[in-house]
């Protein structure tokens, strides 16, 4: 039924899996709040996995959404506590679009209440952005300044703004970045076409990550249910447990399908992750964020219910995945925000138009 770019990424996924298996054990994840996992980052960086989706011309590793998705999904299966997506398909993409060479080290993106003013021979950046992923650990921060119909991007070394630490539910860094008249004159600045490209891309990234984390949550839960015994037998033999396991499997499969559908759609627009791809296929991206967000909650709920009390202890690894699921569904727009946007787009098409749009999902379109 048509060739699918997702199928061609198995080798890349295997590479990522090998690296993560070696460098991203449970103890790395557990201690990440207090210690930046430098070794993990270096392992990912030296294999080029931190730069997939950015053109080789700008110092990236090449590849498009399908390749990036394979890596991000795999990293999420290990709860890798590093800004992999932020460095590659978010900050890296923006720099690529802006024709700026990628700097070294982890990168991130900031958007919020930021503004620029022209002062004599250049731009001055002020304002603040909340919930910036890993700002404290990044070498450079790509600032997104919304303007009327476009978006100004500026790459700023992370020692220029003030950074106030904050966290998400998974205790991943989501910092506040405060810019007090940062002079952009000697820094790379460019204008992007779409002011909302970052949000679509961010939503797609989190959808992909959620589908990866859900696969892992399902694995952990199936394994636990087959090992754990109660009332004299493995709990997987209880019908009530089987019912829940099947529901969990359904959520994981749906999340996977939703993310795959969006990745196929976006990848079909163009080979490289351009602004337009995520934007042209905004409906599929919205659908993916909505469906994976629903699955994130249901999946986390069922997994904890089946794990019982052990699942909420810090020692057990389940919560690393469930807390990420519950954080990621909030980031770059929750289900309600995206469902409302998707609904508006479709309502404008009417019933027949909606049906046409639904059944052409995934079809290749011109960029």
Contacting another protein within 140-169 (CB under 8 A): 166-169
**What, of another protein, a copy of itself, none, does residue 276 touch, CB below 5 to 8 Å by kind?**
none
Q: Which of 25, 104, 350, 367 binds another protein (CB under 8 A)?
A: 350
Strand partners, 164: 176
Determine which residue in the list 47, 238, 250, 346 makes contact with a copy of itself, applying CB under 8 A. 238
C-alpha span between 188 and 200 (Å, rounded): 23
β-strands 229-230, 189-192 pairing: unpaired
Distances in Å between the Cα of 175 and the Cα atoms of 113, 287, 329 are 14, 28, 18
190 binds, among another protein, a copy of itself, none (CB under 5 to 8 A by kind): none
Q: How many residues bind another protein (CB under 8 A)?
A: 85
DSSP string covering 158-221, please?
TTSSEEE--B-TT--BEEEEEEEEEE-TTS-EEEES-SSHHHHHHHHHHHHHHHHHHHHHHHHH
- Cβ proximity to another protein, 178 vs 249, nearer residue: 249
Kindly state whether residue 243 participates in binding a copy of itself, applying the rule CB under 8 A: yes
162 and 127 Cβ atoms separated by less than 8 Å: no
Among 241, 263, 266, 277, binds another protein (CB under 8 A): 241
Chain length of the chain: 367
Q: Please tell me the number of Cα atoms within 13 Å of 272 on its side-chain side.
A: 20
C-alpha to C-alpha distance for 325 and 214, rounded to whole angstroms: 8
The reply to whether 1 sits near a copy of itself by the rule CB under 8 A is no
Residue 9 · residue 63 · CB < 8 Å: no
Stretch that binds a copy of itself, among 91-99, 161-169, 233-241, 315-323 (CB under 8 A): 233-241
User: Is 240 an interacting residue with respect to a copy of itself (CB under 8 A)?
Assistant: yes
Q: How far is the CB of 237 from a copy of itself (least distance, A)?
A: 10
164's contact among another protein, a copy of itself, none, with CB below 5 to 8 A by partner kind, is none
Q: What are phi and psi of 322, to 5 degrees?
A: -70, -35
User: Binding of a copy of itself at residue 305 (CB under 8 A)?
Assistant: no
In the region spanning residues 300 to 319, those forming contacts with another protein, defined by CB under 8 A, are: 300-301, 304-305, 308-309, 311-315, 319
Residue 138 C-beta: closest distance to another protein, Å: 19
CB of 242 to a copy of itself, least distance (A): 8
Site residues (vs a copy of itself, CB under 8 A): 238-240, 242-243
């Amino acid at each position: 039924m048509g060739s699918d770019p997702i199928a061609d990424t198995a080798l890349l996924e295997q590479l990522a899996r090998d690296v993560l298996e070696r460098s991203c054990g449970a103890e790395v994840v557990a201690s990440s709040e207090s210690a930046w996992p430098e070794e993990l980052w270096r392992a990912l960086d030296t294999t080029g996995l931190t730069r997939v989706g950015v053109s080789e011309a700008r110092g990236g590793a090449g590849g498009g959404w399908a390749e990036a998705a394979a890596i991000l999904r795999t990293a999420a299966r290990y709860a890798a506590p590093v800004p992999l997506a932020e460095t590659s398909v978010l900050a890296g993409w923006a720099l690529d679009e802006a024709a700026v060479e990628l700097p070294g080290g982890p990168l991130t993106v900031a958007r919020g209440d930021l503004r620029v003013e022209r002062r004599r021979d250049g731009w001055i950046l002020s304002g603040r952005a909340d919930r910036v992923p890993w700002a404290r650990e990044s070498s450079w921060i790509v600032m997104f300044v919304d303007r009327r119909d476009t978006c100004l991007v500026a790459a700023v070394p992370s020692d220029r703004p003030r950074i106030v630490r904050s966290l998400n539910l998974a205790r991943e860094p989501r910092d506040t970045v405060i810019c007090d008249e940062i002079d952009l004159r000697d820094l790379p600045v460019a204008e992007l076409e779409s002011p909302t490209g970052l949000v679509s891309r961010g939503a797609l990234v989190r959808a992909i990550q959620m589908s990866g984390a859900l696969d892992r949550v399902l694995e952990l839960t199936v394994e636990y249910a087959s090992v754990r015994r109660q009332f004299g037998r493995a709990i997987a033999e209880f019908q009530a447990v089987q019912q829940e396991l099947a529901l969990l499997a359904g959520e994981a499969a749906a999340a996977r399908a939703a993310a795959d559908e969006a990745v196929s759609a976006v990848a079909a627009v163009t080979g490289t992750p351009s602004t337009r791809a995520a934007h042209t296929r905004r409906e599929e991206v919205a659908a993916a964020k909505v469906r994976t967000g629903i699955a994130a909650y249901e999946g986390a709920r069922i997994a904890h219910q089946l794990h019982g009390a052990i699942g909420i202890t810090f020692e057990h690894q389940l919560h690393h995945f469930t807390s990420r699921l519950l954080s990621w569904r909030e980031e770059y727009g929750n289900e309600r925000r995206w469902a409302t946007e998707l609904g508006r787009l479709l309502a404008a098409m009417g019933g027949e138009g909606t049906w046409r749009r639904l059944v052409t999902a995934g079809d290749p379109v011109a960029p």
